[in-house]
Amino acid sequence: MVAALEREVWPLVKDWKVSERECDGKKFKFFERADSVLVCGGIGAQAARRATEAVINLYKPNMVQSVGFAGALDRSWKVGAILTPSQVIDTQDGSRVEIANGEGVLISVAAIASVERKQKLAKTYGAQAVDMEAAAVAKGAEARQLAFSAVKVISDELDFELPSTEEFIDGDGQFKAGKFVEFVAVRPWLWVRVVRLWKNSSTASNALCKFLAERLKDTVQELDNSGAEAHPILKARV
């Protein structure tokens, strides 16, 4: 699994084994448990692609999954709702990835979308949600001919205007939380929005991690019941 930030998946991985490993001159922190591994690569397509390549090179997975937060493009999608899309679209080049057994459309963009842009994206693509990393993860998996899927949770609804954070994201896609807090501290007009963002993020993280934990549990039970030879994802690894 490839996520952007630890805060998105912390309830899931807080008790997992942590391994720090290097790939192509960059260090990554991997969370490991049984037949699963998760890496938080950072925000944006480049960071996601680097993390995807690292986890593939170091762990040789049978399947790669993009997990994390997404913004709603439909008013009916509320904070905490889970999307397992059947299609991921890269708005940069128009490429599309089809996912079996999914439902709905997720689009990936290059920068955080404003409310106005989210409304335009919804009309253009007929999508339910928008993120910044899934398409890049999908391309990394496709390049190695690996299965791909995505699980996204709504962290901001269609009418929620996210505070501008681009200047607090470094070249590795890491969010400089301390600098952001300093910025917000002297701008009281942002406080209500940031508190709402924090609450939404907490709700979204808990919902996502509960969903992922149940899915991992079901996968293990399926293995126990049918054996590794019958499971197409875990067969080569076990």
Q: Is residue 236 part of a domain?
A: no
Q: Is residue 238 part of a domain?
A: no
Residue in the block written with tokens 């990394």: 140
Q: Is residue 237 part of a domain?
A: no
Res 55: pLDDT:
97
Counted domains in the chain: 1
Res 166: pLDDT:
74
Cβ-Cβ contacts under 8 Å for 150 (sequence gap 6 or more): 65, 66, 67, 83, 84, 85, 88, 99, 102, 106, 134, 137, 138
**pLDDT tens by residue, 105-163:** 999 999 888 999 999 999 999 999 999 999 999 999 999 999 999 999 999 999 998 77
Instruction: Give the integer Cα–Cα distance in Å for 54 and 172.
Output: 14
Res 28: pLDDT:
95
92 touches 139 (CB < 8 A): no
Indicate the average pLDDT of the chain: 88
CATH of the domain at 26: 3.40.50.1580
Q: Is residue 116 part of a domain?
A: yes
Instruction: Give the integer Cα–Cα distance in Å for 51 and 27.
Output: 10
For range 210-216, the mean pLDDT: 94
Q: Is residue 138 part of a domain?
A: yes
Residue in the block written with tokens 């991690």: 209
Q: Is residue 235 part of a domain?
A: no
Least confident of 44-58, 135-149, 177-191, 224-238: 224-238
Residue 77, CA distances (Å) to 71, 129, 132, 148 in order: 9, 9, 18, 24
Q: Is residue 148 part of a domain?
A: yes
For range 191-200, the mean pLDDT: 89
Res 211: pLDDT:
97
Instruction: Give the integer Cα–Cα distance in Å for 43 and 120.
Output: 22
Res 222: pLDDT:
55
Count CA atoms closer than 13 A to 52's CA, side-chain side: 30
Instruction: Give the integer Cα–Cα distance in Å for 72 and 70.
Output: 7
Res 224: pLDDT:
55
Quick one: pLDDT band at residue 186, thresholds 50, 70, 90? confident
Q: Is residue 177 part of a domain?
A: yes
Residue bearing the bigger pLDDT, 190 or 106: 106
Res 169: pLDDT:
74
Domain that holds residue 73: 2-230
Res 121: pLDDT:
95
